[in-house]
Amino acid sequence: MPLYAENNAFHFYSFRSKYLGRDSLKQVFETQMAMPYFPVDMSAMSAKRKFMEVAPGETITIGENRVTARELNHPQGCLGYRIETSAGTVVYATDNEPGEAKLDASLRELAQGADIFINDAQYTPEQLATVRKGWGHSTWLEGVNIAKEVGAKTLVLFHHDPDSTDRMVDGLLRQAREEFDSVFAASEGMVITLGSAENRMEAHMPGTRTALRREAQFRAKVSGVTESGQQFEEETIVRDLSLQGALISLHHSPRLQSELQVTMEAPGEDGTHAMKLRGYVVRVDTGAEKGRSAVGVVFTD
């Protein structure tokens, strides 16, 4: 909506793509906002828009902030940014794969002494060494090693793999915290404040991460419809329970978008009660446990 308000002004910064040439970012924005991708093109957006190209190694000033760009190692190209402010220094470096000596040195120069170092941590070290090599991404371990080398105060793991569950990201975070004192895993709604009382950094995690989701093991009875259309009912354990959904291990493989009835045993002051929930299947992963499927459910009531 802010793009439709004529009193607003937006400034966009990026590098010139060798594939697209001049005005690369402007081309990308205008193309993705054109038919058939979007029903309203950018001519209907009355806010002022200015696109500026930044070269690797260039330093620019935005307001009171000094921003330095460095080239990162990604197949289509990418820039990392060092943002120096009166409250501290933030380095944002995503879409980067280690292994190119010149670019590895460039990233370390960018991250030197940063208060907050936000680094690509999409894969595990094992994934990067095998099936994900050459895809342009990094690992939690590489971020930890760089943070130690350059004296960064806090590391933020970013660019999580779309196939990683919350539990998997939590596992990577635990490993990183065993190697480095101050590490966070980025999540939607997370806010980090620099320059707070006593020059300390404060991190505020979103409620969905700290309050709604809990690792749990509830005995439950689940009924639904299999991929072949057969009704089923089985007893199981519900894990990773939140107010929005759950991850359930089942022998049966329910049909995607089918309805599940989940009845769980919940302890109360006067004994155990049955908690009945209705939801829809949004994901089915086979092979996690032999003979079982990991079923993702979003609750509707």
pLDDT at 187 > cutoff 50: yes
Q: Which residue has the higher pLDDT, 22 or 206?
A: 22
Structure tokens at 146: 């760089």
Q: How far apart are CA 82 and CA 69, in angstroms?
A: 7
If residue 171 lies in a helix (H) or strand (E), which one and from where to where?
helix 166-179
Specify the pLDDT at position 212.
46
Specify the pLDDT at position 62.
94
Condensed to tens digits (0 to 9), the pLDDT of residues 249-261 reads: 899 888 877 888 8
Q: Given pLDDT bands bounded at 50, 70 and 90, which one contains residue 125?
A: very high
Which residue reads 């894969």 in tokens? 123
Condensed to tens digits (0 to 9), the pLDDT of residues 229-281 reads: 899 999 988 776 666 778 888 998 888 778 888 888 776 667 777 888 888 88
Q: Given pLDDT bands bounded at 50, 70 and 90, which one contains residue 128?
A: very high
Report, as an integer, the average pLDDT of 202-217: 58
- Cβ atoms of 240 and 216 within 8 Å: the answer is yes
pLDDT at 211 > cutoff 50: no
For every residue of 115-163, which 3-state class applies, written as one string? CEEEEECCECHHHHHCCCCCCCCCEHHHHHHHHHHHCCCEEEEECCCCC
- Cβ atoms of 195 and 88 within 8 Å: the answer is yes
pTM value surpassing 0.75: no
Specify the pLDDT at position 209.
53
64-70: long-range pairs with CB below 8 Å, 24+: 67/13, 68/110, 69/15, 70/106, 70/107, 70/109, 70/110
Q: How far apart are CA 60 and CA 245, in angstroms?
A: 45
Specify the pLDDT at position 205.
65
Q: Given pLDDT bands bounded at 50, 70 and 90, which one contains residue 198?
A: low
Specify the pLDDT at position 215.
54
Specify the pLDDT at position 267.
66
Q: How far apart are CA 176 and CA 128, in angstroms?
A: 16
Condensed to tens digits (0 to 9), the pLDDT of residues 139-178 reads: 999 999 999 999 999 999 999 999 888 888 888 998 999 9
Structure tokens at 1: 């909506």
In the 8-state DSSP scheme, what is residue 212?
I
Q: How many residues in total does the chain contain?
A: 301
Specify the pLDDT at position 210.
47
What mean pLDDT value characterizes the chain?
87
If residue 65 lies in a helix (H) or strand (E), which one and from where to where?
strand 65-71
Report, as an integer, the average pLDDT of 191-196: 81
End-to-end C-alpha distance for the chain, whole angstroms: 31
pLDDT at 27 > cutoff 70: yes
If residue 284 lies in a helix (H) or strand (E), which one and from where to where?
strand 271-289
pLDDT at 214 > cutoff 70: no
Q: Half-sphere exposure of residue 68, counting CA atoms within 13 Å on the CB side?
A: 16
Phi, psi of 116 (to 5 degrees): -130, 125
Cis amide leading into 36 (omega within 30): yes
- Cβ atoms of 98 and 135 within 8 Å: the answer is no
Minimal CA–CA distance to 185: which of 143, 126, 222, 232?
143
Q: How far apart are CA 261 and CA 190, in angstroms?
A: 33
pLDDT at 204 > cutoff 70: yes
